Structures are given as C-alpha cells and as structure tokens.
Amino acid sequence: MWTQQFMKNIKFYPLPCELEHVNAALLEACDGMDGVEDGIISLPGLCDFDPEVLIGQQYNCNGTMKTFAPQTAAIAKEFWTGPKDPNGRYSWYGLTPGADFFTFDNATTGNGGAGTVCQNASETSCMGIVEGYGEQWTRYFVEKDAEFDVLRLTVEDFFNNIHKSVQEYDSIIGTTDPDLSEFHKRRGKMITWHGLTDQLIPPNVTKEYYERVMDVLPNVHDFYRTKRVDFSSSTAGFKCLMEFVRPAGLNELRCIARDDLKLYGSIVTLGTYIGPRVLQSSDFVQILKRCVTEHPMLGVVVHDAATEHPKLFRVESLDLNAHLQMLSSASADEESTRRLLESIHNDPLPGSNVRPQWRMVVQPIDHPSSCRFRLAFAASHSLVDGRSGFTFHTAVLNALEGLKQLGMDSSAICQPGPTTLIPPAMEKAGMLPISWKFLLGPLVGEYCPGFVGRLLGLQSNTTADVWCGAPSRPNRVDSDPVTSVALFSISPDIVDRALAICRKHDARITGLLNHVIARSLCRALDKRQRPFTKLVCETPIDLRRALKQGKGQICNYVSAVTETVDVKRTNDPIDWTAVQKSTELLEERSKSLQDQPTGLLKYLSDFRGWTLNKASSSAEVSFSVSNLGVLDASVAGWQVDSMAFSQSGNGTGEPLSFSVASVGRGGMTIAVTWWPGMLGVEDEDCFVREVGRGVEKEMEAFA
C-alpha cells in the first residue's frame, strides 16, 4: 500500500511494462550470483542494482519504444526499501528485489504493490490499483467504513493508521510475541518458510522475528527453524519447503518431457519376499525411513517440468503414508503378479511438483506356512533407472535385517538425506564425447535419403524392411497412457544351463535374449502373414561403471545400444557367432563414454518438440531388452524369492519392451509391456503370449 501512497504523492503512475523492464534489468544484473541463472535472485543481499541506471534508456512496451522515467526508478526504490515516516524512521520493511511489482487477480484488481492500470499507451491515462489487502484493511478495520476512499489519505494519515492498527489489534491478532517457551515445553516443532519474492509480506519480517525468538530462547534451532526459499507468493504452499538441488540433467530432461506429455508412466521392480513374521504397515514405514535417509533422491521433486529448464528441489520432509500403499492379500500365482504390475503401471504417479514421484506397494501373499509378500517400487524414470530399483530393494533388505534396531520414532514424517548425497547429472558425472561421424549419423538419417548415408558410410535409420509395430502410434497424448503387461518365467535350472552354454560360446545372457526374442517375434509375425527377416533391438546399458560414479545410488545413468538382428530362418539353430558379437558390442559400449546416444542430447534445444515429434512418428526400433541382472537377495531371516522388472508402454520408443530380472539361485522373470494399439496386429494379447512362449521353449531347448 505504501508504494501506491508514494505514487499518489509524486503524481506519477508508470506503465506496467515499465516496471516489468525494471525487474528484467534486475534479473540480468543479479540472477547469476548464486551460480545458476534460473529467473530467481537467491542472494538479494549481494545485489546492488540501482534502477536509476535505466533513466533515459529506451525500452519496448507492447511493440512501442518508450523512454524510462526517473519517477519509475524512485518508485522501485520505495518498493524495495519500505515506508519511512516524516521523521525518517522506517516503519516497515520493503519487499525483496525480484518480487513482482504487482499481482493481478482480475483485470482491475491487484494485491497491492505498485500495480497500475492504463486505458491506453499514454502514461497520463494510468492510475494506481488500490484494491489490495492493505487497502481493505484500512477500510474495514481501521476506518471501519466500507465506502472510505483510501486515495484521500495523506502521508501523515498513512502512518497514523499504522499506529492505530497496532494499538487496536496487536493484542488480539498480533504475531510478534517471541516467547515460545510454552510451545517448546509441549514438545512443539515448527518450520516457517518465506518466499524470497513474496509480494505481500517482506521476508525480513520473518527474519527479524526469528532473531527475537533466539534472544529469548538460544536453543530455538532445536524446535523451530525458518527457511528463506526461492519462490514467490504467500500462497505458494509446501513447494516453498524445498531446497534447490540443481538443474535437471539432459537425460533427466528427456524423461521429464516424456512424462509431462503423458507419453510414459513408471518403471517398477517387484520382489517376492519371504520372512519369519508378518509385518504391519508401521514396519514398512520404518523401512521406508531407512530408504529415504540413505537415498536422498527419493526426496526430490521436479519443478518447471513443462519448460525446457526443469529444476530439481529436495523437499523438507515427506509423509511416508503418501508413498506407501498396502493392499489386501492375493494368491502366489504368476497371474496375480502380472495383475499387480499392470495395476501399478495404470495408476499414475502424482505430478512431479506435488511430491516425489515414487511409491512402495505391498501385497501380502496367501501361504499356509510362511510370511510372504510382494513389494513393488514404482518410480518415474525421470530421476530413477532400472538399476535404482535393485538399489531400493537392497535398502529394503538391509532395513528388514535391522528392523528392531532402527530406533526411529513412529511418525510417518521423514526428512530425506542431505542434498550433498544426491548424484550429479550424468553429463556432470563424466564427459560424454561425441565424434563427428557419430553426430552426423542421426542428422543424415533424419534429413537425407538413405543412399546418402550409405555413400558416406553412415548408418541410416531406414526401417522399411524392419518390423516396428503399427505404422502409426495410438494418440494418447491428452490422457494417461495405458500399459498392458505379460509375464513369463524361466526356471532356475534352465537359467543355469543357458548361462553355461553362453560361457562356452563367450557370450552373455543379454546377447542371447536379444536373438531369442527376435526369432520368436519373427515366428509370430510370420504366422500372421507378415514375414520379416530383420528386427532392430535397443538394449539399455548402465553407465555407472564407465562413469565411475553412481554405484549403489538411486539415479538415472543409462544409455542404450541399438543393433539390427538378422533372422534368416527361424527353424535353424541359433547363430552363436551373432550372439557373441552382440555380447561384445554391449560389453564394449557399457565400458565407454565415447559416442553414447545420451551424449547427443547436448545438441538438442527443444526437448518437448522433439518428444512430440517422436510420439507422432512411427517407431524406429522393433523391441527393447532391458536386463537388470541378478539381485543378491538375502539377509539374516529374509530373502527375495523372485524379482520382476517392468516398464510402462513407451509412447516415443519401441512398441514392445522386454524387461528382465533375476535373483541369486533363482529363476528369471521376463515382463513384456506395450501400449494397446502399438503392435499392429489384431490379437495383441495372443501375439505377446505366443512370443513369450516361444522364448520359453527356445530357452528350454538349450537344456
């Protein structure tokens, strides 16, 4: 309200765009002082910007060039410094540089500040907005006259009204008493957050109050803490209870854009646990506390997900009840596991800025003689990869082993681990160098005819003779994606024998699976009069070993290898030379940071546009095989009997995803997922079951 009074006194009301020009210049001068240019002045105390430097400069106002007025510089200074009484004493704090000068609720009403409204582009036609909270307080509580014209107030009246407000209302609704000793005796705890760019209440008010409490109770930090955070209004809610971590990494940004456009859902790792006793929901809360404390990435949310510059923030605390879902018991059969996976994938995670995008789902298993339950970790792929699922289950096992000794209180409120333990973005963890040949390959494939790529010796993304599912993708951009799930198991004996045969041929199980799945797909397609002899397989790879970072941490450190699998005759014995070459390729790429596809993301400027383009184009690969490997799955008294890994249907990638997981001395589970309508066959469920049975039979044949 003071800024309105000041503008009235000097008889000058600037154009709104002139005040916007002040904030733009302020950001240019001071935004990067904290090392991050994010549109927020996080260190206002270091910002010595003087708006007088703008006087006489030209600025653009809705397409018209204007000259910056000296009165506007004076208004900005008053807005930031606050009101001084006629004796030169400050009676209230000003707002922080970077706060909006005005906030409109509708065309003519604003929440105080320096808001003006103009009839046309002439300065003389502007007037102040006097319908903010301060003006309403003056009318209804101080003057007690709903028709009172606040424009009649003089400077002396303004300061007299401040005095009258204190005299009449401080004893009733005042919040300045610093003695919180009774609150502390009753074991109360409190956090006060204050947005640095709050447009109503100056952040220094909270700072001064906290210092006064500290004078009375020096141990105030034990039960009361205050945070000044990089957000704006008094109604910003719990998002202000957050600590800036870092900008999203490039691979994270790719996944964030895909999630925000509803083209992907979640990744899930599901273990079947066997233990000595039945656990209650309170036990699982304690387990989650251990996990969240050890892995602070579980306390991270994404803001500005709909932009090209998302940011990661660590929440002050989590309500673990919001991340724990307890289900009623179910049978132990594979179909129950499949239904559970499908239901999890089709239950969307909360928005990325609401709370961390993960949940733990627990389903007891009916069994006559032992305690068994399924425990699933479902998370957004934005900040979590498949290997992170194994990391989570390892933390669960460790917590189960020491459940009685955890020594945590029964509250479901938990503070995540410190931000210093949050892994860096992948491109910060290690350089991802790109050669010219590797860079030119995608460009030629995108913009040039196929023969140009062949003449230059560059790979072309021609897929005319390759099965890539339906010619066009189902349009589900405006709704949450639907994922179908099929589940297949390979027994421990067959897995052991297949591994032995792989070792004999200097191959690994993932390379073998790529070829076995391709052969089974071609057989199923051939039965539907769609003969193909080439399929393109994409295999995600974990780069933790190459980066020398991220081991045992929850993060998103994946890239991928793409290869064409030739399937000439599906009835012939498998080509072990080809399997060996696939194994060598996967091994070599997982050890190197050179020419990784995720390294190409640094050349991309419009992630959302690129994502939408991929979603509207036919797929470029036939299927993916993501093998998490083997979980070391036992501690004293507890073990994981089986493990499943699955991914949501991919609206920008392969039509079919094969996700593989195993446990030590256990079998292998293969989950197949897809968006309905992406496979290009009428009987999708039967088609996938046929492919799965074909994989099972060929693996059994190795035995």
- Distance separating alpha carbons of residues 384 and 97, to the nearest angstrom: 37
Taking phi over 0 as left and psi of -120 to 50 as alpha, with beta for the rest, 469 belongs to: left
Mean pLDDT over 78-98 rounds to 83
Question: What does the alpha-carbon distance between residue 227 and residue 241 come to, in Å, rounded to a whole number?
Answer: 8
pLDDT reading at 450 higher than 80: no
DSSP string of 635-697?
A: ETTEEEEEEEEEE---SSS-SEEEEEEEETTS-EEEEEEE-TT-SS-S-HHHHHHHHHHHHHH
Q: Which of 92-96, 205-209, 441-445 has the lowest mean pLDDT?
A: 441-445
Burial 634-660 (b: 16+ CB within 10 A, else e): bbeebbbbbbbbbbbbbbbbbbbbbbb
Q: Read off the pLDDT band of 630 (50, 70, 90).
A: very high
Lowest mean pLDDT among 139-153, 386-400, 639-653: 139-153
pLDDT for 679 equals 95
Highest-pLDDT range among 8-17, 37-46, 108-117, 286-295: 286-295
Task: Please provide the distance, in angstroms rounded to a whole number, between the alpha carbons at the two ends of the chain.
Answer: 83
Is residue 334 a contact partner of residue 303, using CB atoms and an 8 Å limit? no
**pLDDT score for 445:** 57
Do the beta carbons of residue 640 and residue 393 sit within 8 Å?
yes
In whole angstroms, what is the distance from residue 476 CA to residue 361 CA? 26
Closest C-alpha to 582, from 557, 561, 559, 567: 561
**Is 649:616 a contact under the CB 8 Å cutoff?**
no
- Residue 615 makes CB contacts below 8 A (sequence gap 6+) with 261, 263, 473, 477, 651, 652
Which residue reads 């045969």 in tokens?
501
Whether 539 has a pLDDT exceeding 80, the answer reads: yes
Handedness of CA 350, 352, 353, 359 (dihedral sign): positive
Which of 329-343, 462-476, 534-548 shows the lowest mean pLDDT across its residues?
A: 462-476
For residue 274, name the pLDDT band (cuts at 50, 70, 90): very high
DSSP secondary structure string, 36-69? --SS--S-GGG----GGGGTT-EEEETTEEEE--
Q: What is the pLDDT of residue 341?
A: 97
User: Is pLDDT above 50 for 71?
Assistant: yes
SS3 of 437-501: HHHHHHHHHHHCCHHHHHHHCCCCCCCCCCCCCCCCCCCCCCCCCCCEEEEEEECHHHHHHHHHH
Question: Does residue 392 surpass a pLDDT of 80?
Answer: yes
Cite the DSSP H helix spans in 174-280: 181-185, 203-216, 250-260
Is residue 57 exposed (0-12), middle (13-18) or buried (19+ Cβ within 10 Å)?
exposed
Instruction: Give the predicted TM-score (pTM) of the model.
Output: 0.68
For the CA atoms of 447, 453, 458, 461, the dihedral, rounded to the nearest 10 degrees, stands at 60
Residue 124 has pLDDT above 80, yes or no: no
Q: Domains plus CATH for the chain? A: 2-171 (no CATH), 181-237 (no CATH), 249-421 (3.30.559.10), 469-702 (3.30.559.30)
Round the average pLDDT of the chain to a whole number and report it.
86
Of 268, 324, 391, nearest to 648 by C-alpha is 268
pLDDT at 296 over 90: yes
Q: How many CB atoms lie within 10 A of CB 311?
A: 22
Residue 418 pLDDT greater than 90, yes or no:
no
**E strand residue ranges, 522-567:** 534-542, 558-566
Name which of 199, 230, 231, 236 is nearest 103 in CA terms: 199
Query: With bands split at pLDDT 50, 70 and 90, how would you rate the model's confidence at 226?
Result: confident
Q: 3-class SS at 272?
A: strand
Number of other residues whose CB lies within 10 A of the CB of residue 443: 13
pLDDT (0 to 100) of residue 703: 64
Helices H, strands E: what count in the chain?
Answer: 20, 23
Check residue 172 and give its pLDDT: 87
Give pLDDT, residue 239.
45
pLDDT value at 404 more than 70: no
Residue with tokens 């041929």: 505
pLDDT exceeds cutoff 80 at 36: no
DSSP 8-state class, residue 117: E
Phi/psi region, residue 39 (left: phi>0; alpha: psi -120 to 50; beta: rest), is left
Q: What integer pLDDT is reported at residue 210 of this predicted model?
A: 84
